[in-house]
Amino acid sequence: MSLEALEDASAVRDDEGGKEPAGGEAHPGDAPAANGGAAAGGRPTEAGGAPVVAPRTVGELRNLMARASRDGRQVRFIGNATSLPPGYLDGPVDLVVSTRALDTVHAYDPADLTLTADAGVSFGQLERVTGEQGQWLPLDPPGRARRSLGGVLASGAYGPLQGKFGTPRDHVLGLTLVTGDGRVLELGGRVVKNVAGYDLVKLAVGSGGRLGIVTSATVRLHPLPVRDVTLLYQTPRLALAVVLARSLATAPVRIPALELLAGHGEEPTVAVRLLGSPEAVAESERILNGRVGREASRRLEGEASARWFAALERFEDDAAAVARVSHLPSRLGDLVEPAVECGTVAAHVSLGVLRVAVRGPGASEAAVLDALARLRDGVASAGATFRVSRANIPRWPAPEPATAPGVLALTRGIVDSFDPAGVLSRPAS
Amino acid sequence: MIAKPPRLSTGLADELVRIVGEDGVITDPARLMVYESDGLTAYRYPPRAVVLPRDGDETAGVVRAIAAERVPFVARGSGTGLSGGALAVDGAVVVCTARMNRILELDLHNRRARIQPGVVNAHLTAATQPHGLYYAPDPSSQSACSVGGNVAENSGGPHCLKYGVTSRYIRGLDVVLPDGSRVYLGDRGLDTGELDLAGLFVGSEGCFGIAVEIDVELLPLPQATHTLLGIFERLEDAGRAVTAIIADGLLPAALEIIDQATIRAVEESIFAAGYPTDAAAALVVEFDGIEVGLEAEAARAEAACLECGAREVRRATSADARAALWKGRKKAFGAMGRIAPDLLVQDATVPRTRLPDVLAEIAQIGRRYDLKVANVFHAGDGNLHPNILFDRRDATEMERVELASKEIMRICVDAGGTITGEHGVGLDKRDYMSLIHSDDTLWAMESVRRVFDPAGLCNPGKVLPDRIRGMDPAGAAEAGSDRARTIVPAGATA
Ligand SMILES: Cc1cc2nc3c(=O)[nH]c(=O)nc-3n(C[C@H](O)[C@H](O)[C@H](O)COP(=O)(O)OP(=O)(O)OC[C@H]3O[C@@H](n4cnc5c(N)ncnc54)[C@H](O)[C@@H]3O)c2cc1C
Ligand SMILES: Cc1cc2nc3c(=O)[nH]c(=O)nc-3n(C[C@H](O)[C@H](O)[C@H](O)COP(=O)(O)OP(=O)(O)OC[C@H]3O[C@@H](n4cnc5c(N)ncnc54)[C@H](O)[C@@H]3O)c2cc1C
């Protein structure tokens, strides 16, 4: 790597982690980026053999990407670093760009329920800022508090609350993207409804750093709910838990979060989170209990309810590998059985997505691979799609089914137009 | 002024008839007139022909045949679009989805439906309602517009304040690409590691191909609905009430404002809804969900309205009484159509808190250009519809309409807003795109468009300014370098 490109990125930091998974160093609620810029000017360090830089301005980033593109240098992006796709930093990488030094909340208009912040701002920080105004960003991806806004948007990560609030694509009004060849694109806007041109925001959200780096974003906020209640229904038999979960999913009530947990060392558990006015939450509870003909095994309210779901955000933390199975919600029963054979299961019941965590730390590489392969074969027959989203092993089973040729061709064309020199990650799908 | 389109070659005409049948191809100029314009009535572009395929296979065959002769084409649903998106620029062939109007599958267990694109929005809800479900996005044109058109425009509606716009409800799209090949864009990029191509296609205004099957998500019907109608002496007060309701932490299903000019138009028409004609504005507030919570929410909203100066707040819970409160809002466009020969339905979004100032400025612009401007809009989203009433036969008035429109767009952009909230850019607003997007961003849009349609045959002349459409990639490739970043139109020499 020529240091020429680094000269522009004056905020080279010397405190980046190595290739250690972030799981170990838990800073729940902590904002690693809050002191961003303090270590500016240090020497670049190595990450998987490549120097890590943390530019402080969009201008620095633009120059850096333009040069990398011209010189054909391989660049990878990281946010606060918890959920890099498997193998993301493998192979020849010349430079790792971190958004840590982009850590400012630029505009917050509580009356408009919108906020514009840099990509490096952590969710913990956002929670504090918005909480003071009785508002929140109802997005609860795995490992939320430590993650950066840019990382979550770029990876499209979401959690149980998608049941009511949607996934990152539904929260973002606009963002700034520095493309692979150093163009600065202001996409979308700051208003809640906007159809002025093709929706490149949707393209950038979930693109995993393939098109460019997200440097800031405007998101839509919501008022904090007055009442927050979690109902936990436990049954000794998995099949019964599935019936119960499906029955709740088809109740005539919109449930903000509906999860099924199994293989987690307790009885299979169906968790329901209700948010809203005290009256509406009480009535929903009555309707749901009536529908399944029983009371919840446990009922948590307020802080306790939020804490239970915050704990679920750490579901993936100590896993040796995590696979995601996407299926028709009504097929839950066919999929959860083979999944439990392979690991701990957390299902977004209404959406039709199962997360399967293969637990370590003792799990050997062979055991992890074996569990993932069994899972893939087990779910393929039920018409589900399978993908490994995280693994501490060098090789993992390919996604199933493979990407359709037509989709692949469109994807390649789009990626080429944002990164013509091919300096960003290109997953081999 | 209306240019005659070139004729269809006999070879292509025969091929189209072979694919869709005699009754699926229209070439008779008299019958083509219906397809000359859409909801944006000021423009007229006669198509070369209209083809009406019955399913995805026929559509693919039609597009292949048209593309083979390098003839441009444009998809059309119900033609209610308000930005000229379905107009047959360049003598395009119109591929109309009117015969693709079947609901293919209703999957109640998974709350999904698979439909053809020509299904009318309201028909989808009507078909799912008996099962306790409905399709949430509800453009005011829902009794006529097609879901395919909604997908292309990423349409909104009064209830999108709480429920979100079309893109929230599209699970997947079976698309015929502009070369006639077929691809399924699915699952919003969730858990597949793929780019969200379905999300990108939604709102692409018919430029990326033709959606031939659509997988939509349905919602359970709300248990109950409460509606309020606040009557205000000042338009700004109604705007402040909207902010106050949101600031109170309430999330109504709908927050809609109708101004005095609109109220009078409605009350003077056969749609008279009983709104007081001396009022400056009426605000419709609706809550839906679990019955027991609604009463308390409605009471809070009523208090907020009164605090902001409402002289009266009416409330209703029964279906009939609610319909009466909504009537002035729902019949607004129909009524306006009766008091002026022509109506330009404008569309822009501003941050909600800027509504009062922006409305005042719009009123001023109307006075300055001596034009009648009537506002009826989705206030909760800050989505304005300043509608200009005029007579197209009066050339000087036409000119004033254009100047006023431009100024309105400018003030909305200056207030931190955008040039269209839900009607799209189409033909109408291409030249406003540079008000909000840099050339780099416009070029990024054009580059993506070219990935879908390298031959440039699919809905030409829409969304992007010609300057950008004609851009030379070599010129644009300079953009990444350190050199001065000027984008060179094709043919220009440096
Ligand atoms: C060199 C290095 C290697 C690491 N390796 C691992 C590892 O293998 N596994 C692990 O769990 N933790 C790893 N970490 C820990 C890491 O510090 C973070 O905790 C974690 O990545 C934070 O996640 P995030 O949510 O902020 O997004 P990230 O995980 O940083 O990013 C997720 C995805 O989004 C992309 N991305 C992130 N920010 C942006 C942006 N602003 N614009 C565009 N794309 C963006 C990334 O390229 C990646 O594809 C590593 C850290 C470093 C410094
Ligand atoms: C009285 C009135 C009220 C309205 N209210 C609202 C409102 O509240 N909210 C709102 O958002 N809009 C509203 N509209 C605008 C309009 O109804 C919407 O834009 C609607 O989605 C257009 O649907 P359509 O079937 O009429 O499409 P058309 O007008 O036929 O076409 C619109 C665009 O969609 C493309 N298209 C159509 N079908 C397909 C397909 N299958 N695949 C790809 N592209 C396709 C066309 O090429 C064109 O670019 C209103 C219009 C009127 C006249």
Residue A76 in any domain: the answer is yes
CATH 3.40.462.10 in chain B is located at 224-414
Q: Is the pLDDT of residue B491 over 90?
A: no
CATH of the domain at A369: 3.40.462.20
Residues A377 and A263 in one domain: yes
Residue A406 in any domain: the answer is no
Starting at the edge strand found earlier in the chain, the sheet holding A114-118 runs A105-109, A114-118, A212-220, A172-179, A184-188
Residues A248 and A368 in one domain: yes
pLDDT score at A385: 87
pLDDT score at A257: 98
CB B160 within 8 A of CB A170: no
| Ligand 2, pocket-test mutation among B41, B76, B150, B428, most atoms within 8 A of CB | B76
Q: Is the pLDDT of residue A43 over 50?
A: no
Residue A79 in any domain: the answer is yes
What is the per-residue pLDDT across B393-447, written as a single tens digit (0 to 9) for each? 899 999 999 999 999 999 999 999 999 999 999 999 999 999 999 999 999 999 9
The CATH class that applies to domain B10-96 reads alpha beta
CB neighbours of residue A87 within 10 Å? 16
- A35 vs A354, higher pLDDT: A354
pLDDT score at B47: 96
CATH of the domain at A159: 3.30.465.10
User: With an 8 Å Cβ cutoff, is A106 touching chain B?
Assistant: no
Q: How confident is the model at residue B197 (pLDDT cuts 50, 70, 90)?
A: very high
- Which of A223, A247, A265 terminates a domain? The answer is A223
Residues A90 and A163 in one domain: no
Q: Is the pLDDT of residue A82 over 70?
A: no
CB neighbours of residue A375 within 10 Å? 26
CATH 3.40.50.2300, applies to B224-414 = no
pLDDT score at B2: 65
Residue B345 pairs in a beta bridge with: B387
pLDDT score at B306: 98
The CA-CA-CA angle for residues B148, B152, B154, to 5°, reads 105
What's the longest Cα–Cα distance across chain A? Answer: 69
Residues A31 and A82 in one domain: yes
d(CA B255, CA B257): 7
- Residues B63-80 have a mean pLDDT of 97
Residues A318 and A281 in one domain: yes
User: With an 8 Å Cβ cutoff, is A196 touching chain B?
Assistant: yes
- Residues B5-21 have a mean pLDDT of 95
Residues A383 and A263 in one domain: yes
CB A197 within 8 A of CB B437: yes
The fraction of chain A above a pLDDT of 70, given in percent, is 86
The closest of A252, A244, A375, A227 to A305, measured between CA atoms, is: A227
d(CA B58, CA B92): 18
Assigned architecture for domain B103-220: 2-Layer Sandwich (3.30)
pLDDT score at A396: 76
Residue A340 in any domain: the answer is yes
What is the per-residue pLDDT across B349-402, written as a single tens digit (0 to 9) for each? 999 999 999 999 999 999 999 999 999 999 999 999 999 999 988 999 999 999
Residues A232 and A271 in one domain: yes
Determine the distance in angstroms separating the CA of A395 from the nearest CA of chain B, rounded to an integer. Answer: 17
Structural domain count of chain A: 3
The DSSP letter of residue A91 is S
CB A83 within 8 A of CB A73: no
pLDDT score at B494: 31
Structure tokens at B156: 């909104």
Chain A residues lying within 8 Å of B420, measured CB to CB = 194-196
What's chain B's average pLDDT?
Answer: 92
pLDDT score at A403: 86
DSSP states of A341-378 as a string?
Answer: HHSEEEEETTTTEEEEEEE-SS--HHHHHHHHHHHHHH
Residues A135 and A68 in one domain: no
CB A255 within 8 A of CB A249: yes
Residue A366 in any domain: the answer is yes
CATH of the domain at A81: 3.30.43
pLDDT score at A417: 96
Residues A186 and A37 in one domain: no
- Residues A133-159 have a mean pLDDT of 94
- B372 vs B478, higher pLDDT: B372
Residues A117 and A196 in one domain: yes
Residues A233 and A361 in one domain: yes
What is the per-residue pLDDT across A218-264, written as a single tens digit (0 to 9) for each? 999 999 999 999 999 999 999 999 999 999 999 988 899 999 999 99
Give the C-alpha distances (Å, rounded to integers) separating B358 from A74, A194, B279, B413, B467: 48, 17, 20, 10, 31
Q: How confident is the model at residue A6 (pLDDT cuts 50, 70, 90)?
A: very low
Amino acid found at A310: A
Residue A402 in any domain: the answer is no
Chain A residues lying within 8 Å of B205, measured CB to CB = 198
Amino acid found at A384: A
3-state helix, strand, coil in chain A (%, to 5): 30, 25, 45
The fraction of chain B above a pLDDT of 90, given in percent, is 83
The DSSP letter of residue B78 is S
Total count of residues recorded for chain B: 494
CATH 3.30.465.10 in chain B is located at 103-220
- Give the residue carrying structure tokens 């904090």: A224
d(CA A204, CA A214): 8
d(CA A315, CA A158): 13
Q: How confident is the model at residue A398 (pLDDT cuts 50, 70, 90)?
A: confident
Q: Is the pLDDT of residue B249 over 80?
A: yes
ipTM greater than cut 0.90:
yes
Question: Which three-class secondary structure state does DSSP give residue A235?
Answer: coil
Question: Which three-class secondary structure state does DSSP give residue A50?
Answer: strand
Residue A362 in any domain: the answer is yes
Kindly report the protein residue whose alpha carbon is nearest to atom 19 of ligand 2.
Answer: B81
Residue A347 in any domain: the answer is yes
CB-based pocket (< 6 A), ligand 2: B 38-39, 74-82, 85-86, 97, 117, 139-141, 145-146, 148-150, 152-153, 155-157, 205-206, 210-211, 333, 422-423, 459
Report the range of poorest mean pLDDT among A11-25, A363-377, A400-414, B207-221: A11-25
Residues A285 and A257 in one domain: yes
CB neighbours of residue B482 within 10 Å? 12
CATH 3.30.43.10 in chain B is located at 10-96
Give the β-pairing of B93-96 and B49-51. Answer: parallel
Contact check, Cβ <8 Å, B289/A280: yes
Ligand nearest to the CA of B146: 2
The DSSP letter of residue B458 is B
d(CA A16, CA A52): 7
CB B408 within 8 A of CB B386: yes
Q: Domain limits at A85?
A: 3-98
Q: How confident is the model at residue B119 (pLDDT cuts 50, 70, 90)?
A: very high
